[in-house]
Structure 1
Amino acid sequence: MASEERDGDGLLQLQPEEIGENDRQLLPQEIQRCSGLSYNDFYWRYMHKNFPVIITDVSNDWECKQWTVVQESRDLNSNPPSASSINFDYLKTKITNCPVPVADCNSSYFNSHTKLELNFHDYLERWRSGIENQSSSSSAEVNSNVDPTTRDNLYLKDWHLAAQMPGYNFYKVPKYFASDWLNEQLIDQKKDDYRFVYMGPKNSWTSYHSDVFGSFSWSTNIVGLKKWLIMPPGEELKLNDRLGNPPFSIDEKMLDEHNVRYYTINQRANEAVFVPSGWFHQVWNITDTISVNHNWFNACNISMVWQNLRNNLKAVCKEISDCQQMDNFEAHCQTMLRASFGINYLDFIELLEFIAARRLAEKTAATKFLLFDSYRMNDYHVQYDLECLRQITRTLTEDPTIQRTALQLEGRCQQLLTRLEF
């Protein structure tokens, strides 16, 4: 048997799960902070169980560490990195003055932060100007009646920098998150990916939500401190209004009043937070912050993504049920599903077909596909992926919508299942 993987060898060494007598599916008392965690332990103890975890020391060798300036301090342990630790000049030399998506955290529109587009260098200058203004205000007498919400609070988020500048290797996907079926397909087919950079000033924030598709997400702080409030699946129902709508923003007082079980995370620089499927959360930047984030799914949560897809199709069909007698009703529902959810049944099946083809090639050919140009799977990992693909494909073939649709989805599922059941 191969030994546990070493840092830098690029092998995702997965072994069969060892279930102890006391290893029950219980929620943790608190979210653990781990250093030196093995890939195998992360896979079974956290990702497979859908439990959150904080992993330290994940970005030590990333190029984007140069996006920060190390400040001299009399007390090295006194505070987290401050606002002035952003290396604005370096960012401007490394990244072109391209349009970037920005959210105005002081303004909302239809239960979302107002969106705008700025050129990157202009955004950096507004951010830097805000820091300088705050510094000068704090050292002088200021009018206590000035409303802080009148200041800029612009959050650069959901920026596809890795896709936009593929030649700039500013970070490396940590080994824990390398089994990523979603981005594996999208990057190979040069489609819109789910790899993001977030940059924002102190007090910028992301509103209450769960992640797209019911996916996993990971977020690594390059600089700064974030505060998270995060809750296990099902707890979010306690916050919905009479129509089933979630709130736009939460705080501890609201959660306590509704008897919600939740966790608080104070995420520091060089730490990655793993957010499991279906865990609603809200995040604040306590200091000026930069982070790298991915959404993804794989064998561990593919069934949850499928269930979310089914539930969203039911909601779409219910919404336009008065049009049920129209021609191509099911096709219209699938079009709306893609528009509202991001993918539809055909997209989901195509992803399964893509991953199956890659894993089957791993088994039968000398070619070894590298994940994110860095990692490959050991034989057991490939076999486990294939078994999970078989299980989810069988589930699809038994789904009434797939069986009765005129879109020939059942035939594709049956063909895929035949390839997988060798």
Structure 2
Amino acid sequence: MGLNIVGTVEKVNGNELSYTSFVENYFSKNKPVVLTGLMDDWGACRNWVFDDGRPNLQFISSTFGNSKVQVADCGSREFTDQNRSDMSVSEFIAKWHDVSSTENGNPSTSKLNGNTLLYLKDWHFVKEYPEYKAYTTPLFFHDDWLNLYLDHYHMHEDPDTSQKNDDISCSDYRFVYMGANGTWTPFHADVFRSYSWSANVCGKKKWYFLSPSQHHLAFDRNMKNSVYDIFEEVNESIFPNFKKTTWLECTQDQNEIIFVPSGWYHQVHNLEDTISINYNWFNAYNLSWVWDLLLRDYKEAREYIEDIKDICDDFEGLCQRNLATNTGMNFHDFFKFMVSISFANIIHLYHLAKNSDDLKWCSSDKAKHLIFNLECAKDIAIKMRSTCLCKNQNISLDFRSVLKDPKFLELCCQLERTYGFIHDGCGSKDILMEEFVDVGVCKLLDIVVCDAEDLVVLIDHILQDLRLLPQKM
């Protein structure tokens, strides 16, 4: 049974798009798109690729060969993913040379010339080589709360479920992928239901997309397991609705970047020897997707161990530890992230108000962006409050102590540079500590946020104080 392809993903010259246009057409509509024209000055496109488009594996092996990476065996399944092993980049490239790259890749085949096809995935290149300028993050993807936060904090710090000794592999979601013709990635949706962007430094990929409105059709009757490979014979008794699915397809060429919105399941095949740079991230526009996934996974984690509730001394704590293990963070982690990002946005909103002579300062694009961020954070906090899942999480964050944290101050400076680049065309100057305290934040120094209700009240207070909401009588 073949896929019912009903359309293709739009391709647009990224140089002809403004940030506002991208927000309106792709963020707000949660719509995929392929961007061209944005990779011409990338170092990776000069150094990692020969003039004829083949990957310069010798350069990569000699320059980065000692890096330890995860490599997937495209012919061996392990639960919902491919079986993975650890090896060095040079070992992986040596094995790649054993596989012919002259035959056409077959989406249903995992071997060429009798050799197992190996796919290097999730190489945390930026964390490992921060000084190497392989690329420039496109304008549209600069508002990246996830990696900004992880550059300064661990998402989860429970010693029972985190691996502090493995700092590289758990501290960001910026990756390099490398695979020969015929390698592929099974059907899936991205971690945290984040956005992702993937840039082809060389090679060609074939993408197959299933919209969020149809993802349930690719799951079993209990909505527990999805189809693994959409090109295998799908068992109709297990996946009775799969035949109803309709798909978008896309061929992504060299020097093209694809934007994958939240909740879009996809399967990807390398049609040529391919190297790509991939990011996962989220911001205010898809924050609700992250919370919805956490809530769903929490309910599943709770249901799975419900039978030991009466004999467990800390049943809720166990649920949260299992959630962190399975999803990558729990409610405590997400709420702490939300408060930190909200504090940073509040500081910049006050700073913008103080340094503007125009009474209409709040109509600027930057001010609208910051206000939108806080309103979205408030909406999520309201959802968290209504489920009473942030109570008793041992969180106590106040401006006075946060402003003494060098990591938080650097996060604020980076956020300011980000919005300066997006809205002014250049990174804004760093804000000094004295300016933080001098912009009206001093009146907030004694405010403490312990739960979702506190965060809702705080954001309301800020917006009212800056005359961005009607004053409450």
| Shorter-chain TM-score range | 0.7 to 0.9
Give 1:210's aligned residue. Answer: 189
Query: Match for 1:48: what amino acid?
Result: S
Deviations 1:4-33 (A, max 9, x none): xxxxxxxxxxxxxxxxxxxxxxxx954211
| Aligned with residue 172 of structure 1, among 126, 136, 148 | 136
The CA deviation at 1:100 is 1.0
Distance in 1 separating the partners of 2:283 and 2:294: 15
- Alignment pair present for 1:198 and 2:183: no
User: Contact 1:106 / 1:149 at 8 angstroms: preserved in 2?
Assistant: no
Distance in 1 separating the partners of 2:329 and 2:366: 30
| Aligned with residue 279 of structure 1, among 241, 253, 264 | 264
Q: Secondary structure at the match of 2:212?
A: coil
Give 1:264's aligned residue. Answer: 249
Give 2:393's aligned residue. Answer: 407
The CA deviation at 1:112 is 2.1
Give 2:68's aligned residue. Answer: 99
Distance in 1 separating the partners of 2:37 and 2:172: 25
- Alignment pair present for 1:51 and 2:31: yes
Distance in 2 separating the partners of 1:348 and 1:310: 11
**Aligned-pair Cα RMSD in Å:** 2.5
Map 1:47-196 to 2 at 5 A. Answer: 47-65=27-45, 66-71=47-52, 81=53, 85-131=54-100, 148=112, 150-189=114-153, 192-196=171-175
Distance in 2 separating the partners of 1:407 and 1:386: 22
Q: CA 1:43–1:415 in structure 2 vs 1: closer, same or farther (change >3 Å)?
A: same
Distance in 2 separating the partners of 1:323 and 1:379: 50
Q: CA 1:415–1:227 in structure 2 vs 1: closer, same or farther (change >3 Å)?
A: same
Q: Secondary structure at the match of 1:305?
A: helix
Give 1:15's aligned residue. Answer: none
- Alignment pair present for 1:348 and 2:334: yes
The CA deviation at 1:246 is 0.8
- How many residue pairs were aligned? 361
Give 1:394's aligned residue. Answer: 382
Query: Match for 2:133: what amino acid?
Result: N
Give 2:205's aligned residue. Answer: 226
Q: Secondary structure at the match of 1:302?
A: helix
Deviations 1:307-330 (A, max 9, x none): 111111000110000111222111
Distance in 2 separating the partners of 1:32 and 1:395: 34
Query: Match for 1:67: what amino acid?
Result: W
User: Contact 2:217 / 2:242 at 8 angstroms: preserved in 1?
Assistant: no
| Aligned with residue 313 of structure 2, among 322, 327, 330 | 327
User: Contact 2:200 / 2:275 at 8 angstroms: preserved in 1?
Assistant: yes
Query: Match for 2:40: what amino acid?
Result: N
Unmatched runs of 5 consecutive residues or more in structure 2:
1-5, 105-110, 155-169, 354-364, 396-448, 463-473
Give 1:40's aligned residue. Answer: 20
Q: CA 1:379–1:366 in structure 2 vs 1: closer, same or farther (change >3 Å)?
A: closer
Deviations 1:281-337 (A, max 9, x none): 000000000101111111111112111111110001100001112221111100000
Query: Match for 2:138: what amino acid?
Result: P
Q: CA 1:259–1:281 in structure 2 vs 1: closer, same or farther (change >3 Å)?
A: same
User: Contact 1:88 / 1:128 at 8 angstroms: preserved in 2?
Assistant: no
Deviations 1:342-394 (A, max 9, x none): 11001111111121122122123379xxxxxxxxx823222221221222222
Deviations 1:49-86 (A, max 9, x none): 11111111221111101200012xxxxxxxxx4xxx11
Identity across aligned pairs (percent)?
A: 32
Q: Point out the more displaced range, 93-102 or 322-331.
A: 93-102
Q: Point out the more displaced range, 237-246 or 253-262.
A: 253-262
Distance in 1 separating the partners of 2:378 and 2:289: 15
TM superposition score normalised by structure 1: 0.80
The CA deviation at 1:341 is 0.8
The CA deviation at 1:408 is 4.8
- Alignment pair present for 1:289 and 2:258: no
The CA deviation at 1:89 is 2.3
The CA deviation at 1:169 is 1.7
Distance in 2 separating the partners of 1:396 and 1:121: 47
